[in-house]
């Protein structure tokens, strides 16, 4: 400020004209500032399921806040269906697409190229596709899956005092590593600690109907009756922890069950002694921020948002602090 004043005084003494600089005024974009932007948003699962329902809530709030002309798509966690819906969204000529990365880089890459050529903006949520984004742009809103899984494994070892030689059953979506790296890194953390790990194929379709996994889980626990801990693939499965335990003959707190996400069902599992640890990835943000980012990119030319939504752990000690929000479908 002193420097600016000295320049001003010097200019006045020299008889030079001086232009006054006014502070810029704030611009109100209005309540429906994104109303002319057409967006197709992928919620991932079925409408209102334990995880997709929270993603959906985030997207719906962003749509209301921005006024975006957006359609929410449901894929029942089926990668082939997501790809078909992505193809249709590109064909519809929308302005922006917020896409779940579950189908993987190889499947998404050629369609991302077409979207780029057509001037369609892309965002990705829940599962990252870094090679696609590096080549054709777009941001990512979601947890760093590999890091999230590894840290969950380490936290379980610390919290439950798991020992070398202890046995764990870990469900891993084997078919697509871009999605499976989260649970597989739980396995890695356990095996590095010297634990014995039994891997089950946690196919994403279980998320649509968790009860369909009862025979697989029951058989695995019967064959490994010394297992101390069961790791689930997501909030839908973890929310069914009580059913899995009872079907396999376990009562409250007789089998440690951990996983990912929060929901009313997961909170019930904590209350009843069937859920013991979960890693929260804030799916509400995975719904809200991609819509907001596409609007900002289209209307204001801003760069794509990138946000790691991994938020830490919900435990038997702190679950009550998030229960009201989880029961409201917001956490």
State mean pLDDT over 85-98.
98
pLDDT at 14: 43
| For range 229-256, the mean pLDDT | 97
Taking residues 244-260, what's their average pLDDT?
98
Position 64 confidence tier, pLDDT thresholds 50, 70, 90 = very high
Instruction: Check whether 107 has a pLDDT greater than 90.
Output: yes
Lowest mean pLDDT: which of 143-152, 172-181, 235-244? Answer: 172-181
Q: Per-residue pLDDT for 21 more than 60? A: no
Express as a percent the part of the chain with pLDDT over 90.
84
Residue 205 pLDDT: 84
| The predicted structure's pLDDT at residue 25 | 52
pLDDT at 13: 40
Q: Which of 281, 233, 228, 278 is nearest to 250 (CA)?
A: 228
Q: Is the pLDDT of residue 8 over 60?
A: no
Q: Cα(264)–Cα(174) distance, rounded to whole angstroms?
A: 27
pLDDT of amino acid 36: 97
Closest CA to 176 of 81, 124, 237, 106: 106
**Fold assignment, 38-143+282-309:** Rossmann fold (3.40.50)
Helix axes 52-66, 283-300, angle to 10 degrees: 30
Q: Could you tell me if residue 277 is left (phi over 0), alpha (psi between -120 and 50 degrees) or otherwise beta?
A: beta
Q: Given this chain, do its domains 38-143+282-309 and 145-279 carry the same CATH topology?
A: yes
Pick from 262, 257, 306, 13: nearest CA to 141: 306
Q: Give the pLDDT confidence score for residue 157 in this predicted structure.
A: 98
pLDDT greater than 90 at residue 293: yes
DSSP-assigned states of every residue in 274-303: S--EEE---HHHHHHHHHHHHHHHHHH-PP
The pLDDT of residue 11: 39
**What pLDDT is attached to residue 219?**
98
pLDDT for res 26: 57
**Mean per-residue pLDDT, 218-233:** 98
Q: How far is CA 329 from CA 49, 98, 264, 267, in A?
A: 10, 21, 7, 11
Residue 4 binned pLDDT confidence (cut-offs 50, 70, 90): very low
Mean pLDDT of the chain: 91
The model's pTM is 0.87
Domain boundaries, the chain: 38-143+282-309, 145-279
- CATH number for 145-279 (one of 3.40.50.1370, 3.90.1520.10, 1.10.357.10, 3.40.50.2300): it is 3.40.50.2300
pLDDT above 50: residue 3: no
Q: What pLDDT score does 155 carry?
A: 98
How many whole angstroms separate alpha carbon 250 and alpha carbon 39? 46
> Distance between CA atoms of 104 and 251, rounded to whole angstroms?
38
């Amino acid at each position: 400020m002193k420097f600016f004043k000295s320049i001003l005084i010097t200019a006045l003494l020299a008889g030079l004209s001086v232009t006054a600089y006014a502070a810029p005024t704030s611009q109100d974009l209005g309540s429906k500032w994104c109303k002319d932007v057409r967006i197709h948003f992928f919620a991932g699962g079925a409408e209102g399921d334990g995880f997709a329902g929270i993603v959906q809530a985030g997207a719906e709030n962003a749509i209301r806040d921005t006024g975006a002309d957006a359609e929410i798509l449901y894929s029942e966690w089926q990668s082939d269906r997501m790809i078909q819906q992505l193809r249709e969204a590109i064909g519809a000529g929308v302005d922006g697409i917020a896409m779940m990365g579950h189908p993987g880089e190889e499947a998404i890459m050629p369609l991302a190229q077409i979207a780029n050529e057509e001037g369609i903006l892309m965002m990705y949520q829940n599962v990252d596709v870094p090679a696609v984004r590096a080549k054709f742009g777009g941001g990512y809103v979601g947890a760093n899956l590999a890091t999230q899984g590894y840290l969950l494994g380490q936290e379980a070892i610390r919290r439950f005092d798991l020992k070398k030689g202890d046995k764990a059953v870990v469900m891993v979506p084997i078919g697509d590593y871009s999605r499976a790296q989260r649970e597989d890194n739980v396995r890695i953390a356990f095996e590095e600690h010297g634990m014995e790990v039994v891997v089950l194929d946690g196919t994403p379709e279980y998320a649509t109907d968790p009860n369909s996994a009862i025979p697989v889980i029951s058989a695995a626990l019967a064959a490994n009756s010394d297992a101390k801990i069961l790791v689930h693939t997501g909030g839908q499965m973890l929310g069914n922890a009580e059913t899995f335990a009872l079907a396999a003959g376990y009562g409250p707190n007789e089998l440690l069950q951990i996983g990912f996400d929060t929901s009313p069902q997961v909170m019930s599992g904590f209350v009843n002694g069937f859920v013991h640890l979960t890693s929260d990835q804030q799916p509400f943000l995975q719904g809200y921020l991609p819509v907001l980012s596409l609007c900002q990119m289209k209307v204001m030319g801003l760069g794509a948002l990138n946000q790691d939504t991994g938020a830490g752990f919900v435990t038997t000690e702190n679950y009550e602090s998030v229960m009201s929000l989880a029961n409201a479908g917001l956490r």
